[in-house]
């Protein structure tokens, strides 16, 4: 089920909110409010394909049992290392089978084997609910997690706003909220701010991100036909599409949770205004950045007896390499992670030696670097990505927009190549550029807003506009990961 669908907007969400607060407002049924959300989250997941619901239930059940065994071992002063390793291998194996099997077979075939591909369909959300539970097992192993309420744990993993594309949740803040009965009663301020954030997120997806689908899809489907100007246009439009699509989903997830008085992590803070790759990852997919730092980078660094700058940078590079591979089974994702690893190392080195950088140039270099990395992130293969980049440096020649080319021909008698393919949505493109350059992040807007009649009318008009624009419902881009 999609957040940007009529079923979700007019049936699922009102029923979810109504049932949650109806059960939560009564002392005898208060805990059933959490169970209600668990059941709805399972329905939400199985709405796509009920065949994958047993996989989610298996993952929750096995990880719950393993975490319980580790907690008991801690209480009995025993080392839970073996149980921990079993849990980590189980989760890694689950991801490996469903996400990376065909990737490994393809590489074996490249080396000379002749194995048939299995074409295993990737279950939605498997990357997110698996990494959430792996992080939980690490905390259990370190003695930081002691929660044993099955309903709370199942809700922590399957909570429908974050289940399919994040943000990545952490057990300590979530378990406290699920256990707080006061949060199961309507708070109209949270309801209003959460609804506002949801409407803003829906606008990002429906009114902006979806406008780029045709143009971006056409460009990356035929990278060999792109020339200098349209290759840059396609790459920049994808940069905008990805941001407004993913940040829109994250805004809606945070907004839905807030309507239920539940706080989940914020994922974006104006990332395209970042100065340097370090600052970019402090603003982009922030819950993933926290996970990478705490559960990949820090453990790597702590294995060294003596931490040096070089060793810290190696851990930084390897962490981003793993993060790239986590996004998808393909060399293009690995290259995406490697590029950002190199970018972070260069940025840290620049800061270490206090090298000077003209600030406007720093912004431009950061955006160009992110743009190049996103070409690998979007392309179907490394070869396609290289074709797009080759076009971006003029390898496929230069073509002009039809209006400019016509002027050249009419006034100068010169015939030049014309941009081919779908047309750029110019008004949306300009609006997107202005929003990322000048507008505060949606979470800051909601934090600073003062609810009044003008605000209510503005949100109502925006919501009606969004509903009228739902002619073609599209999936969120991060669902494929």
Round to whole Å and give the CA distance between 82 and 449: 51
- CA 455 to chain CA centroid, Å, is 29
The count of other CB atoms within 10 Å of the CB of residue 302 is: 10
The count of other CB atoms within 10 Å of the CB of residue 17 is: 17
- CA 219 to chain CA centroid, Å, is 23
Round to whole Å and give the CA distance between 463 and 465: 5
The count of other CB atoms within 10 Å of the CB of residue 452 is: 9
Q: Which of 162, 327, 340, 396 is catalytic?
A: 327
Round to whole Å and give the CA distance between 246 and 283: 13
Round to whole Å and give the CA distance between 378 and 47: 27
Round to whole Å and give the CA distance between 377 and 111: 25
Spatial contact of 428 and 212, defined as CB atoms under 8 Å apart = yes
- CA 363 to chain CA centroid, Å, is 23
Spatial contact of 171 and 64, defined as CB atoms under 8 Å apart = no
- Cis peptide bond upstream of 407, omega within 30: no
DSSP code for 27: G
Helix H segments across 297-424? 298-302, 309-327, 331-352, 359-378, 382-392, 402-407
Question: C-alpha distances in angstroms, 415 versus 391, 396, 422?
Answer: 21, 17, 21
Collapse the DSSP code of 418 into the 3-class scheme (helix H, G, I; strand E, B; otherwise coil) and give the result.
Answer: strand
User: Is residue 162 flagged as an active site residue?
Assistant: no
Closest CA to 261 of 161, 177, 153: 177
Closest CA to 237 of 403, 420, 432, 377: 432
Spell out the residues 6+ positions from residue 327 whose beta carbon is closer than 8 angstroms to its own.
Answer: 127, 333, 336, 337, 377, 481
Round to whole Å and give the CA distance between 83 and 74: 11
Closest CA to 218 of 472, 424, 392, 422: 422
Q: Helices 382-392 and 228-259 meet at what angle, rounded to 10?
A: 120
Round to whole Å and give the CA distance between 93 and 87: 10
Spatial contact of 237 and 423, defined as CB atoms under 8 Å apart = no
Active site residues: 327
């Amino acid at each position: 089920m999609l957040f940007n669908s009529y079923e979700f907007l007019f049936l699922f969400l009102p029923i979810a909110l109504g049932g949650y607060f109806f059960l939560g407002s009564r002392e005898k049924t208060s805990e059933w409010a959490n169970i209600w959300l668990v059941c709805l989250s399972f329905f939400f997941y199985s709405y796509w394909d009920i065949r994958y619901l047993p996989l989610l239930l298996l993952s929750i059940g096995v990880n719950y049992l393993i975490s319980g065994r580790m907690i008991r071992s801690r209480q009995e002063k025993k080392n839970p290392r073996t149980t921990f390793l079993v849990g980590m291998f189980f989760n890694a194996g689950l991801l490996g089978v469903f996400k990376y099997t065909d990737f490994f077979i393809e590489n074996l075939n490249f080396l000379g084997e002749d194995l048939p591909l299995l074409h295993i369909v990737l279950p939605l959300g498997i990357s997110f609910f698996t990494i959430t539970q792996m992080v939980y097992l690490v905390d259990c192993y370190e003695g930081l997690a002691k929660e044993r309420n099955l309903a709370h744990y199942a809700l922590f993993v399957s909570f429908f706003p974050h289940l399919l594309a994040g943000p990545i949740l952490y057990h300590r803040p979530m378990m406290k909220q699920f256990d707080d009965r006061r949060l199961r009663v309507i708070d109209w301020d949270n309801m209003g701010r959460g609804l506002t954030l949801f409407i803003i997120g829906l606008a990002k997806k429906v009114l902006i991100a979806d406008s780029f689908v045709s143009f971006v899809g056409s460009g990356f489907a035929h990278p060999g036909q792109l020339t200098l100007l349209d290759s840059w246009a396609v790459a920049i439009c994808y940069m905008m599409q990805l941001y407004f699509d993913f940040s829109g989903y994250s805004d809606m997830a945070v907004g839905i949770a807030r309507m239920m008085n539940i706080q989940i992590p914020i994922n974006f803070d104006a990332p395209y205004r970042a100065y340097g790759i370090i600052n970019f990852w402090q603003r982009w997919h922030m819950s993933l950045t926290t996970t990478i730092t705490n559960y990949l980078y820090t453990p790597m660094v702590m294995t060294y007896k003596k931490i040096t700058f070089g060793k810290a940078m190696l851990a930084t590079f390897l962490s981003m390499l793993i993060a790239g591979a986590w996004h998808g089974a393909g060399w293009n994702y690995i290259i995406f992670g490697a590029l950002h690893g190199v970018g972070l190392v260069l940025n840290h080195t620049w800061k270490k030696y206090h090298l000077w950088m003209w600030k406007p140039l720093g912004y431009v270099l950061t955006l160009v670097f992110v743009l190049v990395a996103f070409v690998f992130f979007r392309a179907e293969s490394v070869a396609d990505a290289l074709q797009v980049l080759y076009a971006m440096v003029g390898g496929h020649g230069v073509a002009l927009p039809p209006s400019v080319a016509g002027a050249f021909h009419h006034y100068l008698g010169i015939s030049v190549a014309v941009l081919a393919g779908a047309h750029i949505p110019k008004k949306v493109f300009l609006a997107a550029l202005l929003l990322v350059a000048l507008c505060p992040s949606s979470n800051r807007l909601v934090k600073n807003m003062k609810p009044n009649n003008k605000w209510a009318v503005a949100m109502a008009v925006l919501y009606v506009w969004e509903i009228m624009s739902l002619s073609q419902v599209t999936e969120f881009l991060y669902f494929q990961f």
